[in-house]
Amino acid sequence: MMYKSRKQKWKVVVFFLTILLALLFIASLSFGASFISPVAIFNSVLSSTPGQYDLILFEFRLPRIVLAILIGIGMAVSGAILQSATQNGLADPGILGINSGAGFAVILFIFFTQGIRFESELLQLFILPIFALCGALLAAFLIYIFSWKKSSGVTPIRLILVGIGINAAFSALIIILQLKMDPRSFTQATVWLSGNISGVSWSYTYALLPWLIVLLPIVLFKARYLNVLTLGDAMSTGLGVNVSRQRKWLLILAVGLAGSCVAVGGGISFLGLVAPQLAKKLVGPRNEILLPVSALVGAVLLLFSDLVSRTILAPSEIPIGLVVSAIGAPYFIYLLIKS
């Protein structure tokens, strides 16, 4: 009876999150520097001839909305993996320094390509996630090496402290590179680091989508290993799981998701912390359910943050990363005090 109740609750949660996401989707199409009514949006979608609002809707707002949803999904699932694999509810790609590692690699790319013209924007955007992944993997490797001890392995507190240190180190390197950039590249790097999806095109979506299509099914397949890892290393080993191997693969998946999202969306912190925590409160810790619900929560949070970022001071915009941090930082402090 309890199992049926939980199953029904999961379906209800998914239903309401989907409705909320759909409402935010419509609101994001409507609100901005200029308001477009839902009726006008509906007419533009159904019309066979170019309409008055087609350029605004399909070339400016829709790519941004889709990208926000995809980044929200990727960052939330990455955070859920990190929290389960490390048995640490405070784990997040931003807090642990993975985002900073990815950001450093992207800033390095911008630094060395100053003045170089790429044949297409899409080519540059497809290269960026590869650089970001390398930087994120380097950060994850350093965190794992410095937080591991032979006597106790990797403890949650040590992981957080080392992650904060790695984050600070990469942030310092980023500032050094920025100071040596020309004014145009400096501005580009500063805006990108604050988390920004303003003015994005469909190319950004095309650059991120392949990573999610490849990595997310693998993550769902590995969900059962995440369930076992949450029981502790000793119990996991007793159940026949190669803890070290599975944890490494899961961390690589988390790093891949976070790195690819950072490459196109910039430094968006705390989303990977807040979304899995809220999802866990809604549906519990079972990862087969937690991962998809975390993805939905992440999409809702980032789409809401994007809507706030471009409407609260319209026609000016606030970087989306600042809005997410304003939501996530107090929640992180609350979790830190609670734990």
Cβ-defined contacts of 308-317 (< 8 Å, 24+): 310/31, 310/32, 310/33, 310/198, 311/31, 311/32, 314/31, 314/32, 314/33, 315/33, 317/198
Residue 58 has what DSSP assignment? I
Residues 52-75 pLDDT 10s: 778 888 888 899 999 999 999 999
Cis peptide before 315 (omega within 30 of 0): yes
Is 17-338 in CATH node 3.40.50.720?
no
Mean pLDDT of 117-132: 70
Q: How far is CA 125 from the centre of its chain?
A: 17
- Cα–Cα–Cα angle for 67, 16, 35, nearest 5°? 50
CA atoms within 13 A on the CB side of 214: 10
Rounded Cα–Cα distance for residues 294 and 76 (Å): 6
pLDDT in tens, 211-233: 999 999 999 998 888 888 877 76
Q: 148-149 and 153-154: which strand pairing?
A: antiparallel
Give the tokens for residue 336: 């830190």
- Judge contact between 310 and 256, C-beta under 8 A: no
In a 3-state reduction of DSSP, which class is residue 154? strand
Give tens-digit pLDDT for 258-291. 988 988 888 888 899 899 999 999 998 888 899 9
Element (H, E) at 149: strand 148-149
What is the pTM for the complete model shown? 0.90
Q: Domain residue spans in the chain? A: 17-338
In the structure, what pLDDT confidence band is assigned to residue 6 with cuts at 50, 70 and 90?
low
Q: What is the pLDDT of residues 294-338, one digit of tens each?
A: 999 999 999 999 999 888 887 778 888 889 988 888 887 887 777
